[in-house]
Structures are given as C-alpha cells and as structure tokens.
Amino acid sequence: MFILFAPLILFDFRNQHITFNSLLNFANGSSSEEGSNLVSAVIVYFNQMRQHIGLSIININFWWFQLIIIIFTILGVAINYKNLKENSKIIFLSIWGFMSLPLIWVSPGNPQYYVGIGLGWIMLFSLALKTFWKTKKLTVLSITATILFVIGIILSIYNLNFNKDVFFRTSQDDLNYADQKSILNFIHQDSNNQSYRLVSFTIPSLHPEAWDYLHQYFYPKNSSDNAKIVYIVIEKYVYPVWEEKWINDLGETRLIFEKKFGLLRLQKREIID
C-alpha cells in the first residue's frame, strides 16, 4: 500500500503537507462543502470509481458498459467466495479495490486519488473470469468477456499513443510527454548549438516549471535569458488574448516559423533591438 501511495506521500512532503493539513482541517470540522455534503460526495465517489475501474479493466469509456464490468466482477467474486481457499485472497483484493472509500469524507472529486485501486480491480476481474470459465453454464459469458478484454488491450495501446482515455491523463490532453520531448529535441537541433531562450505559455497561466525542468534535464547548456533567438512553446488551452499579450511582453520580435507537435505549438522568434 505504501508503494502505491508513495507519489501522494512525496507530494505531501514537497508541498508543506497540504494533504495532511487538509485531513486535520476535516477532523476539526472545517472541511470543504463537497466533503460535508455526504450524498453528493457518495455520488462523486461512485462515478469516479466506475470510470476508473472501467478504464483500468476494459478501457471502453461508456458508463453502462463500465457498470456491466463491475457487476460481472462482483458476481464472479461472490460465486468464488464459496471456495474457502480463495477467501483470504478475495478479502485482500476487495480491501485493495475499495481502499479509496475514505475519500467520501475527504475529497472524492480528485481522479488521481483512485489510481491505486486499478490493479486491485484488474485482479478481481481476472478472478471472476476464472470463476466463470469453470462454470460451464456461463462459458459463453466468459468468452464474450475475454473478447472484450482483448479489445480493451488493443484500445489501451491505441489510446496510450494518442494520450486519450487513460487514467493518468488530466484535462490538459495536449501535454503528451512524447510531443514535449520532440519539441525539445527539435529546438536542440534547430539551434545548432547557438544560445537561445526558451519560453512556455502554459495552463495554469505562467507556470512554466515543468517545461523548465524538462529543458534543464535534457539540454541545459545552450539556454540564455539574453539570447536574441526565442523559442516559445504554446499549450493548446492558452487564450489567444494572453498569447498575444505575452508575446508583446517580450518586446519587438519577428516570427521566423511556427510548427505543431501533436496539440502543442512551437514558435521561433527573433528579438529586434
């Protein structure tokens, strides 16, 4: 469990214990409105669970199909529970699958909090599938589920390549690591070892830390705040009015070219004295 939640624990230590302090505030009765409205929190929790379980197991993003998969899993596990040898395994996996339940009283709306349950539900689904394969009357159901599972694997590979419908993707679907790396590689080659300045127009506005980190990690040598050549990375959801303002803030510039990398744009500009 510690390994699964290690990213959240490290995040808490690096950000002045914001998560732990939120839990203390909740315990003191000063939690958010979402946490205080139990009915609303339960609805949010089960919607997050349904979506995450469906994408983890089958990767087909239809709510009714995700419910079928959950029912299929629970039914197969319940049938298998009659086998005393499997009880301890089922109890362990069930705790794993529902270990995010306390989020109902804390913050059920954050999808990243549900990442740890995925493996638990995948193993519960595999156990249910094994149970139905052994039950001759339900073999057709098992064959259908297996075919859909294979389709889900194919869709997962496809979606990973295009950064869509994967559990770790945020609403900023333009931030694909492969595209980010391609931009930095292109800048490195295009600059021909000459000094340049890298600027990123981001969402949230003017928080370029991620781009700064990647650039410093891969190509730390040629960057200079005084360089006449400026490469501007523009994320998809930056408003045009802010894009124009931020470009004007650089001073008088001449656009040399603009290229697209996935959903991201890259401009090369020259600062004119």
Q: In this structure, is residue 211 part of a structural domain? A: yes
The residue range of the domain holding 232 is: 177-271
Q: In this structure, is residue 220 part of a structural domain? A: yes
In degrees rounded to 5, what are phi and psi of residue 194?
-90, 150
Same domain, 129 and 157: yes
> What global pTM score does this model have?
0.52
CA separation for the pair 105, 121 (Å, rounded): 22
Same domain, 51 and 136: yes
Q: In this structure, is residue 128 part of a structural domain? A: yes
Q: In this structure, is residue 21 part of a structural domain? A: no
Total number of domains constituting the chain: 2
Same domain, 153 and 237: no
CA separation for the pair 262, 141 (Å, rounded): 40
The two three-digit tokens of residue 172, written as one number: 């900023």
Q: In this structure, is residue 172 part of a structural domain? A: no
Q: Per-residue confidence of the chain (273 residues) as pLDDT tens digits?
A: 566 567 667 777 777 777 677 667 655 654 444 444 778 888 888 888 888 887 777 777 777 877 888 888 888 888 777 665 667 788 888 888 888 887 777 777 777 778 778 888 888 888 888 888 777 666 777 787 778 778 877 887 887 777 676 655 666 778 888 899 999 999 999 999 899 999 999 988 888 999 999 999 998 887 788 899 999 999 998 999 999 999 999 999 999 999 999 899 999 999 997
Same domain, 46 and 153: yes
- Helix runs in 137-196, H state only: 139-162, 177-191
The angle at the Cα of 144, spanning 139 to 149, to the nearest 5 degrees, equals: 120
